[in-house]
Structure 1
Amino acid sequence: MRFKGALYRALNPIYAREPRSGRGAQLNGGRFNNRGVPALYTSLSILTAIREANQVGSLQPTTIVSYKAEVDRVFDSRDEAALAAYGMDAAALADITWRDQIKSSGEARTRAFARQLVKDDYHGLLERGFVHGSSPSDLNLVLWQWADEASSRLIVIDDENRLA
Protein backbone atom coordinates (compact mmCIF):
# COMPACT_ATOMS: atom_id res chain seq x y z
CA MET A 1 0.00 0.00 0.00
CA ARG A 2 0.97 3.65 -0.26
CA PHE A 3 0.69 5.90 2.77
CA LYS A 4 0.09 9.61 2.37
CA GLY A 5 -0.72 11.81 5.35
CA ALA A 6 0.40 13.12 8.70
CA LEU A 7 2.63 11.17 11.05
CA TYR A 8 3.66 11.96 14.62
CA ARG A 9 6.51 11.02 16.95
CA ALA A 10 6.91 11.65 20.64
CA LEU A 11 10.67 11.93 20.95
CA ASN A 12 13.00 11.82 23.86
CA PRO A 13 14.18 15.48 23.89
CA ILE A 14 17.76 14.22 23.42
CA TYR A 15 16.84 13.45 19.79
CA ALA A 16 14.66 16.52 19.16
CA ARG A 17 17.26 18.24 16.97
CA GLU A 18 17.45 15.13 14.76
CA PRO A 19 13.80 14.16 14.27
CA ARG A 20 14.57 12.10 11.17
CA SER A 21 17.67 10.31 12.41
CA GLY A 22 16.22 7.04 13.74
CA ARG A 23 19.14 7.10 16.17
CA GLY A 24 17.26 5.97 19.30
CA ALA A 25 15.94 2.86 17.57
CA GLN A 26 19.35 2.28 15.99
CA LEU A 27 21.10 2.37 19.38
CA ASN A 28 18.59 0.22 21.24
CA GLY A 29 16.72 -1.79 18.65
CA GLY A 30 12.98 -2.16 18.80
CA ARG A 31 10.17 -4.57 18.14
CA PHE A 32 10.70 -4.17 14.38
CA ASN A 33 14.41 -3.38 14.02
CA ASN A 34 17.67 -4.85 15.25
CA ARG A 35 20.19 -2.81 17.19
CA GLY A 36 22.38 -1.01 14.65
CA VAL A 37 19.52 -0.58 12.14
CA PRO A 38 17.89 2.87 12.10
CA ALA A 39 14.11 3.02 12.14
CA LEU A 40 11.50 5.68 12.75
CA TYR A 41 8.60 4.60 14.92
CA THR A 42 5.78 6.98 14.04
CA SER A 43 2.06 7.07 14.78
CA LEU A 44 -0.97 8.22 12.87
CA SER A 45 -2.24 10.22 15.86
CA ILE A 46 -0.60 12.40 18.49
CA LEU A 47 -2.15 10.46 21.38
CA THR A 48 -0.89 7.16 20.02
CA ALA A 49 2.60 8.64 19.67
CA ILE A 50 2.56 9.80 23.30
CA ARG A 51 1.36 6.38 24.51
CA GLU A 52 4.04 4.59 22.49
CA ALA A 53 6.87 6.81 23.74
CA ASN A 54 5.84 6.55 27.40
CA GLN A 55 5.02 2.88 27.82
CA VAL A 56 6.50 2.41 31.28
CA GLY A 57 5.82 4.45 34.38
CA SER A 58 4.97 8.13 34.48
CA LEU A 59 4.93 10.55 31.57
CA GLN A 60 8.49 11.65 30.86
CA PRO A 61 9.63 14.83 29.06
CA THR A 62 8.65 14.39 25.44
CA THR A 63 9.00 16.43 22.26
CA ILE A 64 6.16 16.02 19.75
CA VAL A 65 7.15 16.20 16.09
CA SER A 66 4.84 16.00 13.09
CA TYR A 67 5.66 15.03 9.53
CA LYS A 68 4.13 15.09 6.10
CA ALA A 69 4.65 11.65 4.63
CA GLU A 70 4.30 10.01 1.23
CA VAL A 71 5.65 6.48 1.50
CA ASP A 72 5.35 3.78 -1.13
CA ARG A 73 5.70 0.07 -0.36
CA VAL A 74 4.12 -0.01 3.10
CA PHE A 75 3.15 -3.43 4.40
CA ASP A 76 -0.32 -3.30 5.97
CA SER A 77 -0.32 -5.72 8.88
CA ARG A 78 -4.13 -5.48 9.15
CA ASP A 79 -4.24 -7.76 6.08
CA GLU A 80 -4.37 -11.21 7.70
CA ALA A 81 -3.65 -13.06 4.44
CA ALA A 82 -0.57 -10.96 3.76
CA LEU A 83 0.65 -11.59 7.32
CA ALA A 84 0.07 -15.33 6.96
CA ALA A 85 2.17 -15.35 3.79
CA TYR A 86 5.08 -14.28 6.03
CA GLY A 87 4.23 -16.82 8.73
CA MET A 88 2.90 -14.09 11.02
CA ASP A 89 -0.41 -13.19 12.60
CA ALA A 90 -1.75 -10.39 14.79
CA ALA A 91 -0.94 -12.30 18.00
CA ALA A 92 2.72 -12.67 16.98
CA LEU A 93 2.93 -8.93 16.25
CA ALA A 94 1.42 -8.10 19.64
CA ASP A 95 3.51 -10.63 21.60
CA ILE A 96 4.98 -8.76 24.57
CA THR A 97 7.71 -11.38 24.99
CA TRP A 98 9.74 -10.14 22.00
CA ARG A 99 12.55 -8.97 24.31
CA ASP A 100 12.55 -12.37 26.07
CA GLN A 101 12.78 -14.07 22.67
CA ILE A 102 15.95 -12.08 21.95
CA LYS A 103 17.46 -13.07 25.29
CA SER A 104 16.66 -16.77 24.87
CA SER A 105 17.28 -17.31 21.17
CA GLY A 106 19.00 -14.15 19.95
CA GLU A 107 16.07 -13.26 17.68
CA ALA A 108 12.51 -11.97 18.03
CA ARG A 109 9.93 -13.14 15.50
CA THR A 110 8.93 -9.54 14.88
CA ARG A 111 12.50 -8.56 14.04
CA ALA A 112 12.93 -11.49 11.65
CA PHE A 113 9.63 -10.51 10.02
CA ALA A 114 10.75 -6.89 9.65
CA ARG A 115 14.10 -7.94 8.21
CA GLN A 116 12.29 -9.99 5.55
CA LEU A 117 10.02 -7.06 4.72
CA VAL A 118 13.09 -4.85 4.23
CA LYS A 119 14.63 -7.52 1.96
CA ASP A 120 11.37 -7.51 0.00
CA ASP A 121 11.83 -3.74 -0.48
CA TYR A 122 9.12 -2.52 1.87
CA HIS A 123 9.80 0.98 3.18
CA GLY A 124 7.59 0.60 6.22
CA LEU A 125 5.10 -1.39 8.25
CA LEU A 126 1.65 -0.18 9.25
CA GLU A 127 0.79 -1.89 12.51
CA ARG A 128 -1.62 -1.59 15.37
CA GLY A 129 -0.39 -0.05 18.61
CA PHE A 130 -0.26 -2.59 21.39
CA VAL A 131 0.63 -0.45 24.42
CA HIS A 132 -1.70 -0.20 27.39
CA GLY A 133 -4.74 1.93 26.57
CA SER A 134 -4.52 1.38 22.80
CA SER A 135 -7.50 0.49 20.66
CA PRO A 136 -7.62 -1.14 17.21
CA SER A 137 -7.80 2.35 15.67
CA ASP A 138 -4.41 3.33 17.15
CA LEU A 139 -2.00 2.78 14.28
CA ASN A 140 1.75 3.13 13.94
CA LEU A 141 3.93 3.31 10.87
CA VAL A 142 7.43 1.95 11.37
CA LEU A 143 9.76 3.26 8.69
CA TRP A 144 12.98 1.61 7.57
CA GLN A 145 13.46 3.86 4.58
CA TRP A 146 12.74 7.57 4.45
CA ALA A 147 14.16 10.50 2.54
CA ASP A 148 13.23 13.60 0.61
CA GLU A 149 12.49 11.50 -2.48
CA ALA A 150 8.96 10.88 -3.71
CA SER A 151 8.92 7.12 -2.94
CA SER A 152 9.72 7.59 0.75
CA ARG A 153 9.19 11.28 1.43
CA LEU A 154 9.18 12.36 5.05
CA ILE A 155 9.16 16.08 5.73
CA VAL A 156 9.44 17.47 9.27
CA ILE A 157 6.87 20.17 9.91
CA ASP A 158 8.92 22.93 11.52
CA ASP A 159 7.89 26.14 9.76
CA GLU A 160 9.26 28.29 12.59
CA ASN A 161 12.58 26.41 12.74
CA ARG A 162 12.10 25.49 16.41
CA LEU A 163 14.18 22.32 16.14
CA ALA A 164 17.25 24.13 14.78
Structure 2
Amino acid sequence: MAPEYLPFLHLRTTVFRGHHPRWAFDPLSGEGASRHGGRFNQPGRPALYTALRMETAWLEAQQGFAFKAQPLTLCSYHIDCSGILDLTAPATLAALGVGPADLSCAWEDLADRGIAPPSWLLAERLIGQGAAGIVVPSFAFRAGAEDRNLVLWRWGADLPHRITVVDDHARLPRDDRSWR
Protein backbone atom coordinates (compact mmCIF):
# COMPACT_ATOMS: atom_id res chain seq x y z
CA MET A 1 0.00 0.00 0.00
CA ALA A 2 1.42 3.34 -1.05
CA PRO A 3 1.69 6.10 1.54
CA GLU A 4 -0.41 9.20 0.89
CA TYR A 5 2.56 11.49 1.38
CA LEU A 6 6.11 10.85 0.27
CA PRO A 7 8.76 13.10 1.86
CA PHE A 8 10.32 14.28 -1.39
CA LEU A 9 13.36 16.52 -1.19
CA HIS A 10 14.75 19.11 -3.55
CA LEU A 11 18.47 18.49 -3.76
CA ARG A 12 20.93 21.22 -4.76
CA THR A 13 24.47 20.01 -4.30
CA THR A 14 27.55 18.62 -5.98
CA VAL A 15 27.87 14.87 -6.47
CA PHE A 16 30.65 12.70 -7.90
CA ARG A 17 31.02 9.70 -10.15
CA GLY A 18 33.94 7.56 -11.25
CA HIS A 19 33.70 6.43 -14.87
CA HIS A 20 35.54 3.83 -16.85
CA PRO A 21 37.69 6.10 -19.07
CA ARG A 22 36.17 4.47 -22.18
CA TRP A 23 32.85 6.15 -21.41
CA ALA A 24 34.13 9.55 -20.20
CA PHE A 25 32.80 11.19 -23.37
CA ASP A 26 29.20 10.54 -22.23
CA PRO A 27 29.14 11.09 -18.45
CA LEU A 28 25.38 11.62 -18.27
CA SER A 29 24.16 8.64 -20.29
CA GLY A 30 23.23 6.00 -17.68
CA GLU A 31 23.59 3.50 -20.51
CA GLY A 32 25.85 1.10 -18.63
CA ALA A 33 23.33 0.77 -15.82
CA SER A 34 20.55 0.28 -18.36
CA ARG A 35 22.48 -2.48 -20.14
CA HIS A 36 23.59 -4.42 -17.08
CA GLY A 37 21.26 -3.38 -14.28
CA GLY A 38 22.36 -2.17 -10.89
CA ARG A 39 21.31 -2.36 -7.28
CA PHE A 40 18.43 0.08 -7.90
CA ASN A 41 17.61 -0.52 -11.55
CA GLN A 42 16.82 -3.61 -13.53
CA PRO A 43 18.27 -4.05 -17.03
CA GLY A 44 16.46 -1.76 -19.45
CA ARG A 45 15.90 0.95 -16.82
CA PRO A 46 18.40 3.81 -17.19
CA ALA A 47 19.92 5.04 -13.95
CA LEU A 48 22.71 7.42 -13.05
CA TYR A 49 24.64 6.34 -9.97
CA THR A 50 26.51 9.14 -8.19
CA ALA A 51 28.04 9.64 -4.75
CA LEU A 52 27.67 12.49 -2.29
CA ARG A 53 31.41 12.41 -1.52
CA MET A 54 34.39 12.06 -3.82
CA GLU A 55 35.77 9.31 -1.59
CA THR A 56 32.56 7.34 -1.96
CA ALA A 57 32.71 7.66 -5.75
CA TRP A 58 36.21 6.17 -5.57
CA LEU A 59 35.02 3.24 -3.43
CA GLU A 60 32.10 2.58 -5.75
CA ALA A 61 34.18 2.77 -8.93
CA GLN A 62 36.87 0.45 -7.61
CA GLN A 63 34.24 -2.16 -6.69
CA GLY A 64 35.99 -3.17 -3.50
CA PHE A 65 39.51 -3.29 -4.90
CA ALA A 66 40.81 -0.05 -3.38
CA PHE A 67 44.38 -1.40 -3.24
CA LYS A 68 44.39 -2.50 -6.88
CA ALA A 69 43.13 0.75 -8.31
CA GLN A 70 42.07 0.71 -11.92
CA PRO A 71 42.10 3.83 -14.13
CA LEU A 72 38.97 5.92 -13.93
CA THR A 73 37.69 9.34 -14.83
CA LEU A 74 36.32 11.11 -11.77
CA CYS A 75 33.70 13.76 -12.53
CA SER A 76 31.68 16.13 -10.40
CA TYR A 77 28.14 17.20 -11.19
CA HIS A 78 25.90 20.04 -10.12
CA ILE A 79 22.50 18.71 -9.08
CA ASP A 80 19.30 20.77 -8.90
CA CYS A 81 16.68 18.07 -8.67
CA SER A 82 13.22 17.62 -7.19
CA GLY A 83 11.54 14.35 -6.36
CA ILE A 84 14.35 12.82 -4.31
CA LEU A 85 13.68 10.42 -1.42
CA ASP A 86 16.26 10.01 1.34
CA LEU A 87 16.35 6.30 2.10
CA THR A 88 19.02 6.85 4.74
CA ALA A 89 16.34 8.48 6.94
CA PRO A 90 14.66 5.93 9.23
CA ALA A 91 11.36 7.86 9.09
CA THR A 92 11.29 7.65 5.28
CA LEU A 93 12.02 3.93 5.35
CA ALA A 94 9.24 3.45 7.91
CA ALA A 95 6.77 5.51 5.86
CA LEU A 96 7.55 3.34 2.83
CA GLY A 97 7.43 0.07 4.77
CA VAL A 98 11.01 -0.66 3.71
CA GLY A 99 13.76 -2.20 5.79
CA PRO A 100 17.52 -1.88 5.44
CA ALA A 101 17.64 -5.48 4.14
CA ASP A 102 15.58 -4.41 1.11
CA LEU A 103 18.33 -1.93 0.22
CA SER A 104 21.30 -4.16 0.99
CA CYS A 105 19.98 -7.34 -0.65
CA ALA A 106 22.34 -9.52 -2.68
CA TRP A 107 20.78 -8.16 -5.85
CA GLU A 108 23.24 -9.71 -8.32
CA ASP A 109 22.86 -13.19 -6.87
CA LEU A 110 19.08 -12.91 -6.82
CA ALA A 111 18.96 -11.59 -10.41
CA ASP A 112 21.30 -14.38 -11.58
CA ARG A 113 18.84 -16.90 -10.10
CA GLY A 114 15.88 -15.26 -11.87
CA ILE A 115 14.49 -13.67 -8.70
CA ALA A 116 13.55 -9.99 -8.76
CA PRO A 117 15.66 -8.30 -6.06
CA PRO A 118 13.71 -6.32 -3.43
CA SER A 119 15.76 -3.24 -4.38
CA TRP A 120 14.50 -3.46 -7.99
CA LEU A 121 10.90 -3.86 -6.84
CA LEU A 122 11.31 -0.87 -4.53
CA ALA A 123 12.82 1.25 -7.31
CA GLU A 124 9.96 0.48 -9.69
CA ARG A 125 7.41 1.27 -6.98
CA LEU A 126 9.07 4.61 -6.19
CA ILE A 127 9.40 5.55 -9.86
CA GLY A 128 5.69 4.82 -10.24
CA GLN A 129 5.00 7.16 -7.32
CA GLY A 130 6.91 10.02 -8.95
CA ALA A 131 10.39 9.67 -7.49
CA ALA A 132 13.21 11.02 -9.65
CA GLY A 133 15.87 9.44 -7.46
CA ILE A 134 16.97 8.25 -4.05
CA VAL A 135 19.73 8.86 -1.54
CA VAL A 136 20.95 5.50 -0.25
CA PRO A 137 23.82 4.14 1.80
CA SER A 138 26.85 2.94 -0.12
CA PHE A 139 27.26 -0.81 0.00
CA ALA A 140 30.78 -0.69 -1.43
CA PHE A 141 33.47 -2.61 0.44
CA ARG A 142 34.87 -0.44 3.26
CA ALA A 143 32.05 2.12 3.00
CA GLY A 144 31.14 3.83 6.26
CA ALA A 145 28.06 5.63 7.55
CA GLU A 146 29.20 8.85 5.82
CA ASP A 147 29.23 7.15 2.40
CA ARG A 148 25.97 7.78 0.60
CA ASN A 149 24.91 7.65 -3.03
CA LEU A 150 22.37 9.49 -5.13
CA VAL A 151 20.74 7.26 -7.72
CA LEU A 152 18.74 9.09 -10.39
CA TRP A 153 16.08 7.64 -12.67
CA ARG A 154 15.03 10.99 -14.12
CA TRP A 155 17.64 13.56 -15.05
CA GLY A 156 18.45 15.99 -17.81
CA ALA A 157 19.57 19.48 -18.68
CA ASP A 158 16.41 21.17 -17.41
CA LEU A 159 14.55 21.64 -14.14
CA PRO A 160 13.08 19.99 -12.18
CA HIS A 161 15.69 17.22 -12.67
CA ARG A 162 18.74 19.18 -13.75
CA ILE A 163 22.21 17.69 -13.63
CA THR A 164 25.27 19.15 -15.31
CA VAL A 165 28.76 17.73 -15.43
CA VAL A 166 31.46 20.13 -14.27
CA ASP A 167 33.87 20.50 -17.18
CA ASP A 168 34.75 24.21 -17.23
CA HIS A 169 37.90 23.66 -19.27
CA ALA A 170 36.47 21.10 -21.74
CA ARG A 171 38.77 18.30 -20.57
CA LEU A 172 36.32 15.47 -21.18
CA PRO A 173 36.41 13.91 -24.64
CA ARG A 174 33.48 14.87 -26.87
CA ASP A 175 33.15 11.48 -28.58
CA ASP A 176 34.71 8.01 -28.54
CA ARG A 177 37.18 8.47 -31.42
CA SER A 178 40.17 8.06 -29.08
CA TRP A 179 39.05 4.45 -28.46
CA ARG A 180 39.07 3.33 -32.09
Question: What code does the residue aligned with 1:126 have?
Answer: V
Taking a change above 3 Å as real, the CA distance of residues 87 and 102 of structure 1, as seen in their structure-2 partners, is: farther
User: For the residues of structure 1 that align with 2:39 and 2:11, how far apart are their CA atoms?
Assistant: 21
- RMSD of the alignment, in Å? 1.3
Partner of 2:44: 36
Deviates more, 1:83-92 or 1:7-16: 83-92
Gaps (5+ residues) in structure 2?
1-8, 175-180
TM-score relative to the length of structure 2: 0.86
2:102 aligned with 1:92, yes or no? yes
In the other structure, the counterpart of 1:104 is 113
Alpha-carbon distance in structure 1 between the residues aligned to 2:64 and 2:143: 14
Q: Does the CA contact (< 8 Å) of 1:86 and 1:113 recur in 2? A: no
Matched, 1:74 2:84: yes
How far apart, in 2, do the equivalents of 1:120 and 1:42 lie? 22
**C-alpha deviations, 1:113-139, integer Å up to 9, x for none?**
011111111110001112121111111
Report the Cα distance in structure 2 between the residues aligned to 1:85 and 1:104, rounded to whole angstroms.
30
Amino acid at match of 2:87: S
Higher Cα Rg: structure 1 or 2? 2
How far apart are the structure 1 equivalents of 2:124 and 2:156?
A: 19
- Alignment partner, residue 45 of structure 1: 53
Specify the code of the residue in structure 2 equivalent to 1:37: R
**Among candidates 75, 83, 90, match of residue 65 of structure 1:** 75
Which structure 2 residues correspond to residues 7-22 of structure 1 after superposition, within 5 A? Answer: 7-22=15-30
In the other structure, the counterpart of 2:160 is 151
What is the percent sequence identity of the aligned residues? 35
Paired letter, 1:24: G
TM-score, with length taken from structure 1: 0.93
